[in-house]
Structure 1
Amino acid sequence: MWDSAWQGAGTEAVGNAAPGSGAPRRRTDVRLAVPAVAVWAASIAGLWLHPVALAVLCCAFAGAGTLLICRSRHLFPPGKLRCTALGRERPPARRSFLSTSAAALFLAAAAAAHSAAGASQRFEGPLAEAVAAGKSVVAVVEVAGNPRALTAPGQAGTPERWSVPVWTREISTGGVLLRTRAQLVVTGGGDWGTAVTGQLVRATGKLRPPEQGTREAGILTASSGPGPATGVPILEKSAKELREQFVAASSFLAPDPRGLLPGMVTGDTTALDEGLETAMKAVGMTHLTAVSGANCSLVLGALLLACRSLRLPRLAAAALAGAGLWLFVLLVGPDASVLRAALMGAVAVVSLASGRSGRGLSFLCLAVIGLLLTDPGLGSSFGFLLSVLATLGIIVLGRRIIDWTPGFVPRWAAAAVAVPLSAQLLCGPVIVLLQPQFSTYSLLANVIASPLAAPVTLLGTAAVPLMVLAPWAATALIAVAGTFSSGVAATARFTSQLPGAALPWPEGIPGLLTMLLLSVLTYGTVWAVARPRQVCRLVLSCHRRLVSLIEVMETWSVLTLHRHGFRQGPRSKRKPARRPAPGLERGAGRGRLGYSTNLSGRNPRWPLRRSEQPVPRHQTLPPGGT
């Protein structure tokens, strides 16, 4: 599973050429990282600032970008380009930096402008006034995602409350009809759990303000179930029916695989046992309880492998794999998290089609920029942040950790450990903000579950269309996939019951900083264990540098003492510099103290007379020491 996820994320080949092999060393292209960070910052600012402030910020970004472009063209006109060794012309590095910074500012201005349009509905207009006043409304809304269960701690069984993201079409309040498209969150009873993405429903209830820093314009507390649905898309309706049939077809399994298998295949976690969910959360396996980027990478990798085994051209294989990934997204439900995971998997498709599989970091930055420009509200989503950090860790750290492993270790075994470890190193500091605890056996649990999760996803996904074509074959695949999913559940329950499975951790910023320090120390420890010879060479090199530094400091102090025979200060208070004790005068060679026979106790002038100089070590003293 993790190996496929690592391949789907698009690995970055950095420094993989052996020293002295003559192969060109590929450098990490980080130019797109600057625009990605700028767009992300502008998206977060758009959730907090007033539309007027966002407009000023947008104009400032655009103006600064224009100035950088003009500065770049003034300093480096097109006729003054630097030629490379191959005879090609390219601009200097400074011009490239200025151009990249200008592009980052222009993209940030676009993100700020998009955020200003959504902020106007949260701060101004009739809808904002109705939300602030808490009015009762009757609204026609479009369901924008799958319902999410709102379960209280310790509650078991069918959820009583649901949260559904919607887009408004019409809002009627106080005899006034508002036709606007704004994002709301509807919280209602059990009937809202049957809502299908894309359908139009009627909702009645009371508006209330959202939390600060969120992208929703308000929260609609529904007083009744959804009204008559109209315009249900056929694809979304079929996908919902397939998910329900898959849950029913898995009912013959044991309790743990019965609830876990639909979640790992179709993202339906309604039948998941609460004890199993708690165990998986304690050991850091919550990404397996629902569809994530790893699932999309597995499906995409299997489709690519099948297409390439049929010897299809590269573009045709990429097109078929992309179509299969789109159908998988429709099956799971086009939620924001699923779309993010699918886009991360599509990075592999773009990499295959372009023939540049080593540009994983650049493709990741492009995916981040595209998602944030489409929906700036993702900038404040912890799920989006964890998805990006996990992919970044796999791209940047995963390849290095795999290259560090000794040659006798199989490649798949190295990837099975390196991929979850690299993702956990970057995601750990953010996870402690959401859940202040340390999962001691998270790496162990994920390494054990990774070979079991791959057949669950692939066999379960293959069983979904077979439920319509050949139900008996689908039942057989579900039985086999259920066996593997029971192994995943057993792994979660076993590791969660080990001593110290979930240790308390500091909350807030102290917890983030301490976990960041632990991640750095863990990364350094892995490097030290995998490269003992380099560690020894590094220690010896540091020792030599320290000895050289001590020698330089000693030489400098002696020269300073010779140059200034008296201590600095007022002329009337200057005192002669203190001489070393008799017998401990400085000798020759590497700061050693030589032995002197001058024990008269006199205080001669500085520097010493020739007769008072210490005897060199190569000379022998006559009897009597004189």
Structure 2
Amino acid sequence: MSSRSPWSRYVESAVRVQALPDAAGPDGLLGAAGPDGRGTRAAGPDGHQAVGPVNARLTRPTSHVAAQVRGHLGKRLRGQARDAAGTDVPRRRTDLRLAFPALLVWCAAISGVWLTPEALAAVCGGLLSIAGLLLHRAGRAKARSGPQRAVPRSFLITSAVALLLAAAAAGHSAVTSSQRYDGPLAEAVKSGKSVVAVLEVAGSPHALAPAGQAGTSGRWSVAVTTVEITAGGQVVRARAQLVVMGGGDWGKLTPGQVVRTTGKLKAAESGQPEAGLLAATSAPMALSAAQGWQQAARELRSRYVSAAAFLAADPRGLLPGMVTGDTSALDEGLNTAMKAVGMTHLTAVSGANCSLVLGALLLVARSLRLPRLPAAVLALAGLGLFVVLVGPDASVLRAALMGSIALASLAGGRSGRGLSFLCLAVIGLLVFDPGLGTSYGFLLSVLATLGIIVLGQRMVRWTPTVVPRWVAAAFAVPLSAQMLCGPVIVLLQPQFSTYSLLANVVASPLVAPVTLLGTAAVPLVILAPWAATALIAVAGTFSAGVAWTARFTAALPGASLAWPEGAFGLLTMVLLSALTLGLVWMAVRPRQIVQCVVALHGRTEHLLELVERRVRRSRHYAVVNRLKGNGRPGRRG
């Protein structure tokens, strides 16, 4: 005979509590069941035997308490049976405490792009004043503290900290705003003067696509920081953000270089954080080289592209883009196909790549039996080198910061929550660079992560247990990200990618080996070229599968459908996302749908019976009244 588990003995002792000799006291009270199945009793103030902590206030007879225990345990066991069947999985509450501070900081960062410096100063003053009032009220609540004051006081302190962070973001934005509205640089931009500019390259060059056409126009966009501007004989020395539009020579620059050029200043579009645009009329002349680490990263990216030259055309251009962010060799036909099916996030390094690299480094460190803190330091160092290699784009910075916060929590021995990590990353990045608040790339990155955290995990929980978890995640992750990013993508590109989910699900298993094997080959390009060639060949095979998936799905009929533009297109895409979520829930929860339909059918039948009963009663009264009144309607008896 097999031994019973402690839980089985506990349940049996609780259900059969009346049969236990020591379960009830002399006054008929029930003691709390201990782990051995026997009741425990404690003497009350009146000398009678009182129950344990759970039933301390109960004074009902044993039969009533036993019935309550049976009912409670019955509900609990039925809930466990539903959990085992995969229909009701216990959920962990989503932590929303940092959502309000993140939203407030984001609003403050956006206001810095649209408001004047005077208006931003007023906003900062108002935020600081409200924060001071909340802190003062929180201090008074502590002075007259009581148990009921804990929650309000924590809410006041959290709100005050959120307002202080928002004031910091608004103050940072005010500095940039002053460069757009005041000073000699703002006057030169408004007048559209031709200038001689000394500039420091602040970002990697990006190729510009001609309007309404495929391919590139041979022109490049480069983010720069002004060092010196000479306009109309006046020299302006100020640090301001500009965007340079230039020819092919501008695509060869490296972040950190200082160059001299000539061009014409133009006003930036409304809602952009830059102080203006510079249409370059001459090639950049280098005055100083980039810093050593930036130059080394550019050289390493170039050597990686050369090392992958033996691959076929598609993997030859796609592999360096997925590993190092260098898309210079990417075929335009493949780039167009990936745009048509919603796979552009794979053409360059994104947050998913950072997460894979971070996870792999942490796994290697822990497999070497390193303690938690050294493993976290090693993983963070590797992630930092990866970010230096790729370049600090918005999505990479967001993913790197999220990974750093997660590792810090892990090193402290406490597990955090994904939404809290995302909110912390948003707050940190926006306080550091408020200009990200109006960046579509940053918004899409945050929305994709939010969709995976909030919707993706729920979709996986909804899936029946007969479906493997990795299969459920393969569908839930891209679908949840697409549902939240879809409305914003419509604003940028008014079209609907019919096979986006299919393409991303098929390609998702191929992304991990491309990222991990391709990244492992980067240092080997210099240390051991023969080993790098082997890894690049394997990673190139997987990247060829990604390219084939994009081309195949893009060639299917109706792969890209026109969609309404503007606010109407955004609203319709939101409705489509909500409808998709409902359909997914219906598909993975057919039992609940049947139960809802049966319950609705029963309620409808009951309603019809009530209506029929009332109609029959009214007809009966009408006949009786006619008989009593010789055909005239009478008073109801």
**Under TM normalisation by the shorter chain, which class is it?**
0.7 to 0.9
State the alpha-carbon separation in 2 of the partners of residues 154 and 255 from structure 1: 25
**Closer, same or farther in 2 for the Cα pair 1:337/1:392, shift >3 Å?**
closer
Residue 607 of structure 1: aligned partner: 636
Picking from 142, 157, 169, the partner of 1:77 is 142
Q: Does the aligned pair in 2 maintain the 1:460–1:481 contact within 8 Å?
A: yes
Picking from 454, 458, 462, the partner of 1:396 is 454
- Written as runs of structure 1 = structure 2, the 5 A alignment for 1:328-339 is 328-339=386-397
Q: 1:419-473: CA deviations, max 9, x gaps?
A: 1111111111111111111111111100110111211111111111111111111
Residue 347 of structure 2: aligned partner: 289
State the alpha-carbon separation in 2 of the partners of residues 582 and 522 from structure 1: 47
| 1:34 maps to amino acid | F
Picking from 23, 47, 55, the partner of 2:121 is 55
Q: For residue 159 of structure 1, report the CA deviation from its aligned partner.
A: 5.6
Residue 476 of structure 1: aligned partner: 534
Q: Does the aligned pair in 2 maintain the 1:43–1:379 contact within 8 Å?
A: yes
State the alpha-carbon separation in 1 of the partners of residues 605 and 160 from structure 2: 47
Q: For residue 55 of structure 1, report the CA deviation from its aligned partner.
A: 1.1
Q: For residue 98 of structure 1, report the CA deviation from its aligned partner.
A: 3.0
Q: Does the aligned pair in 2 maintain the 1:583–1:597 contact within 8 Å?
A: no
Question: Per chain length, whose mean CA-contact separation is higher, i.e. which structure has more relative contact order (CA < 8 Å, sep 6+)?
Answer: 1
Q: Does the aligned pair in 2 maintain the 1:140–1:170 contact within 8 Å?
A: yes
Picking from 482, 486, 489, the partner of 1:424 is 482
SS state of the match for residue 47, structure 1? helix
Note if 1:202 corresponds to 2:289.
no
Picking from 324, 344, 353, the partner of 1:266 is 324
State the alpha-carbon separation in 1 of the partners of residues 404 and 306 from structure 2: 31
State the alpha-carbon separation in 1 of the partners of residues 254 and 442 from structure 2: 23
State the alpha-carbon separation in 1 of the partners of residues 501 and 623 from structure 2: 61
**Closer, same or farther in 2 for the Cα pair 1:258/1:408, shift >3 Å?**
same
SS state of the match for residue 225, structure 2? strand
State the alpha-carbon separation in 2 of the partners of residues 545 and 150 from structure 1: 61
State the alpha-carbon separation in 2 of the partners of residues 500 and 290 from structure 1: 26
Task: Please state which structure has a larger fraction of its residues in helix.
Answer: 2
Q: For residue 605 of structure 1, report the CA deviation from its aligned partner.
A: 4.8
| 2:164 maps to amino acid | F
Residue 577 of structure 2: aligned partner: 519
Note if 1:241 corresponds to 2:310.
no
Q: 1:329-348: CA deviations, max 9, x gaps?
A: 11112233432332234343
SS state of the match for residue 286, structure 2? coil
State the alpha-carbon separation in 2 of the partners of residues 206 and 583 from structure 1: 88
Residue 438 of structure 2: aligned partner: 380
State the alpha-carbon separation in 1 of the partners of residues 415 and 236 from structure 2: 49
State the alpha-carbon separation in 1 of the partners of residues 616 and 399 from structure 2: 75
Note if 1:256 corresponds to 2:322.
no
**Closer, same or farther in 2 for the Cα pair 1:546/1:471, shift >3 Å?**
same
Q: 1:92-136: CA deviations, max 9, x gaps?
A: 433333333322222222211111111000000111001111122
State the alpha-carbon separation in 2 of the partners of residues 440 and 56 from structure 1: 47
Residue 501 of structure 1: aligned partner: 559
Q: Work out the number of aligned pairs and report it.
A: 554
State the alpha-carbon separation in 2 of the partners of residues 78 and 550 from structure 1: 62
- Written as runs of structure 1 = structure 2, the 5 A alignment for 1:285-364 is 285-364=343-422
Gaps of 5+ in 1: 1-16, 84-90, 559-579, 587-593, 609-626
State the alpha-carbon separation in 2 of the partners of residues 432 and 413 from structure 1: 28
Picking from 38, 62, 67, the partner of 2:133 is 67
Q: For residue 156 of structure 1, report the CA deviation from its aligned partner.
A: 7.8
Residue 277 of structure 2: aligned partner: 219
Note if 1:29 corresponds to 2:58.
no
SS state of the match for residue 221, structure 2? strand
Residue 112 of structure 2: aligned partner: 46
**Closer, same or farther in 2 for the Cα pair 1:47/1:164, shift >3 Å?**
same
User: What is the TM-score normalised by the length of structure 2?
Assistant: 0.81
State the alpha-carbon separation in 2 of the partners of residues 396 and 582 from structure 1: 54
Q: For residue 54 of structure 1, report the CA deviation from its aligned partner.
A: 1.1
**Closer, same or farther in 2 for the Cα pair 1:583/1:434, shift >3 Å?**
closer
**Closer, same or farther in 2 for the Cα pair 1:551/1:27, shift >3 Å?**
farther
Note if 1:437 corresponds to 2:502.
no
Provide the aligned C-alpha RMSD in A. Answer: 2.8
Q: For residue 199 of structure 1, report the CA deviation from its aligned partner.
A: 1.9
Picking from 441, 444, 453, the partner of 2:511 is 453
SS state of the match for residue 296, structure 1? helix
**Closer, same or farther in 2 for the Cα pair 1:541/1:98, shift >3 Å?**
farther
Residue 572 of structure 1: aligned partner: none
| 2:180 maps to amino acid | R
Gaps of 5+ in 2: 1-76, 84-88
Q: 1:580-624: CA deviations, max 9, x gaps?
A: 8997237xxxxxxx997974554465331xxxxxxxxxxxxxxxx
Note if 1:146 corresponds to 2:204.
yes
Residue 585 of structure 1: aligned partner: 620
Q: Does the aligned pair in 2 maintain the 1:582–1:599 contact within 8 Å?
A: no
**Closer, same or farther in 2 for the Cα pair 1:163/1:18, shift >3 Å?**
farther
State the alpha-carbon separation in 2 of the partners of residues 371 and 546 from structure 1: 54
Q: Does the aligned pair in 2 maintain the 1:259–1:269 contact within 8 Å?
A: yes
| 1:402 maps to amino acid | V
Q: Does the aligned pair in 1 maintain the 2:625–2:632 contact within 8 Å?
A: no
**Closer, same or farther in 2 for the Cα pair 1:413/1:583, shift >3 Å?**
closer
Q: Does the aligned pair in 2 maintain the 1:293–1:345 contact within 8 Å?
A: no
State the alpha-carbon separation in 2 of the partners of residues 357 and 445 from structure 1: 33
State the alpha-carbon separation in 2 of the partners of residues 224 and 27 from structure 1: 58
State the alpha-carbon separation in 1 of the partners of residues 618 and 206 from structure 2: 85
User: Which piece of structure 1 moves more, 349-358 or 106-115?
Assistant: 349-358
SS state of the match for residue 152, structure 1? coil
Q: For residue 80 of structure 1, report the CA deviation from its aligned partner.
A: 2.1
SS state of the match for residue 499, structure 1? coil
User: What is the TM-score normalised by the length of structure 1?
Assistant: 0.83
SS state of the match for residue 239, structure 2? coil
SS state of the match for residue 585, structure 1? helix
Q: For residue 545 of structure 1, report the CA deviation from its aligned partner.
A: 6.3
Q: 1:486-519: CA deviations, max 9, x gaps?
A: 1111100111111211111111111111111111
